[in-house]
Amino acid sequence: MKYSEYDFNNKTILITGAAGFIGSNLAFYFQENYPDATVVAFDMFRSGETFSNGNLKSFGHFKNLLGFNGVVISGDITDKKALKELEHNYKFDFIFHQAAISDTTVQEQDLMMKTNVNAYEDLLKIAINHGANMIYASSAATYGDSDRFEVGFEQPNNAYGFSKVMMDNITYEYLKKDLDISIVGLKYFNVYGPREFFKNKTSSMVVQFGHQVLKGLTPKLFEGSDKILRDFIYIEDIIQANILGCSPKKSGIYNVGTGKARSFEDIVNILQKELDIDNGKEYIPNPFVGSYQFFTQANIETTEENLGYEPKYSMEEGIKKYIPEIKRLFEQEVK
């Protein structure tokens, strides 16, 4: 499905984090809809390197790009030499910046800032030099302890959320200048869908619960899960927002969610219904009380008004569309 009347054919598009969840979905969106576009997929593919928390430094996985026929470049956005080569070798029309340390439990604050904040400004300078519109991933993690999910009410409670606030602050500073490009930041809420599996423990509870059910396990939910609500958004609505963000003169920072909070209980109920398996539910104490968000819900009024964004997938519709991929992953990657 095309989300814009704009023709991306014969345009050159840079996607950072292109072997990750959202980046790879963007890469295939352009390949399927605009076969004459030049898509440069830049990613720091995974190695065995881990952070102090034991999680991988990069979730980029070649399997997310199987079937992709654009340009693939392995590189680190903090490597100024690699960025110089990108700037020298191509003339970009659009930059979709999805690369980041997105693991909220990472303790290396110095690396978080270099990767998420400083590298973003370096890429923004390339966008300005090339006259390329910049669309980048911000995050609902910027809201943290806030009880108001609107731009301007951020209260991050971890280094990741803070780094995304700093990215947004850089955007505001650059937008004060008379630029010939647009800069659009998208605050993603809880995204789920195909190509997230290789995020491992940081993948959505939709795929994690789905695989628990297929294994014959009883899904474990925190006590009171029917009252723990999040704004869960299907990947295709995230892609829609990115494409709509390409429109000129739409600069700004926008929430991308459904505007409707749903419970973790709902996820399990829908999954078991769609899989036609009822393993029941088990309730366990929530060890994170005091440092846990019990509610997130995107205010998407400005996103709808300025970008023309309209979420297409309810949770029921999103999970139903996702089920075949959850089953395929279970057969090929989990079993």
Examine the residue annotation and report whether 3 is marked as an active-site residue of this protein. no
Examine the residue annotation and report whether 172 is marked as an active-site residue of this protein. no
φ/ψ (deg, to 5) at 178: -90, 85
Q: Which strand (E) or helix (H) includes residue 38? A: strand 38-43
Q: Which two tokens mark 72?
A: 């693939």
Catalytic residue among 29, 160, 192, 322: 160
Amino acid identity of residue 162, one-letter, is F
CA distance 333 to 327: 10
First to last CA, the chain: 33
**Helix (H, G, I), strand (E, B), or coil: what is residue 106?**
coil
Q: Which residues neighbour 183 within 8 Å (Cβ) at sequence distance 6 or greater? A: 124, 127, 133, 134, 136, 171, 174, 175, 251
Q: Alpha-carbon dihedral of residues 90, 91, 93, 97, nearest 10 degrees? A: 40
Catalytic residue among 11, 199, 309, 313: 199
Q: What is the set of active-site residues?
A: 160, 199
